[in-house]
Each structure stands twice: as structure tokens, then as C-alpha cells.
Amino acid sequence: MQEQKSMPLIGDKFPELEVTTTQGTMNLPEDYEGKWFVLFSHPADFTPVCTTEFVSFQKRYDEFRELNTELIGLSIDQVFSHLKWEEWIEEEIGETIEFPIIADGTGDVAREIGLLHTASKTQTVRAVFIVDPEGTIRAILYYPAELGRNMDEILRMIKGFKKAEEENVAIPANWPNNEIMDDHVILHPASNKSHIEKRREQIENGEIECYDWWLCHKAPKK
């Protein structure tokens, strides 16, 4: 019996994989070079929670693409199962699934990235990898079988990553609706005394706002 490999960690490069999908053979992460991508696994086709998730992802697909982000699903099902499920979703719910779904019939892909369910060697867990344009894993989310994902949070995370990189800042809780600083972003803590003095000058000049020199924030660039 093949053993499941450990799940890659945040900061690791996404493993190089050749995968079979509903849109043909793909090479990950190569085929998404220069783009963010969200790989999300689901336990099985034709299951209630997974069906609601695929509809939700599709309804937000344009929003993901506006963020230079692609979607790709995965489960241990055959291509024909994925295609029939997509057909059912279109006929019964009225949504056409436009993103590819990996058909991991052998379970090799799931084993490679640590997605096999401990209670079942034929089902993938409900997980999410957010991968940046350089192929680096930036976030991993894990969900139980009974709880569907929140796609708006995944969108928020990608927006937050992009904002953090563009402005070299950190992102507060519940951004852009934080309870104490609204849509502001957080400046990294001062690292020396001269930096502290510069912060105090910025406060006096109205460039930034601070609760103290170690907790400063500013309005994000539009």
C-alpha cells in the first residue's frame, strides 16, 4: 500500500505535478506561472456540501480572475464522474463550471500533497491551497466534511496578500472592516530608535496614525 506523503507547508514550493483534468492534461504549478491559483479538494462528486461549494466558487470566478487568480478542483473521481456532475449542476442549478477539476482516480495526486482522509483511503479531505505567481504556497485551509468553505474569505485572503506585497504592510483582522482601524493597513513595528523617531515625525505630520509606535496604521493606497 502506498503511504500518504506529508502535506506541504506554507512557504514551500507547490510540488510539480502532471494532472488529468476536465479540461485536459495540466502541469502544476507551471501552467499557472505568473498567476495566483487556488487548488481546492473535495471529498467526492455528487455530494451535497461539495455541490454548494462548486456553485459558490463558480459564482465568484470572475472576481478571482480579476485578481489574476485561477481555480482548480480535485477529488479521487474519474473524469467522466466530474463531467457528469458538471452537467447535472448546469441542468439543475443553472451554473456552468468553467474551471478545471483534477480527476485523481488513482489517488496519486492526493497522496503527493497529503490530502487523503485518514478515515478513508479513497476520499480527499476538504482543503485549500493558495499559491502565488512564483509557485509558493501562501496559505493552507482545512475544513471538516460537514462544513462548507467561505469563498469570500478566500477572496479576502488573496486581496490581503496582494495589498501586503504592494505596500509592504500587514493586514489586520477582518480587513477591510477591522473593528479599531477600519480599512487601514498595519505598518511593520519599528526596529530601532531612529525608526521610532521617524514614526513620531510621521504621526505629527499626519502621515500615519498610531496607538503607540509599535502599533501604527495608515489608509491603503487606492
Q: Annotated binding site for substrate: which residue ranges?
A: 126
210 is known as an active-site residue: no
> How many Cβ atoms sit within 10 Å of the Cβ of residue 37?
23
Q: Rounded to an integer, what distance in angstroms lies between the CA atom of residue 5 and that of residue 59?
A: 33
Q: Which helix (H) or strand (E) holds 83?
A: helix 79-93
123/121 Cα distance (integer angstroms) = 6
Q: How many CB atoms sit inside 10 A of residue 82's CB? A: 22
Amino acid at 98: E
Q: CB 219: neighbour CB atoms within 10 A? A: 12
Active-site option among 28, 38, 39, 50: 50
Listing from the earlier edge strand, what are the strands of the sheet with 209-212?
Answer: 185-186, 215-218, 209-212
The CB-side HSE value for 74 (13 A sphere, CA atoms) comes to 31
- Residue 81: strand, helix, or coil: helix
- Cell 462548486 belongs to residue: 54
Cell numbers for 49, please give them.
Answer: 456540501
135: closest CA among 25, 27, 21?
Answer: 27
Catalytic site positions: 50
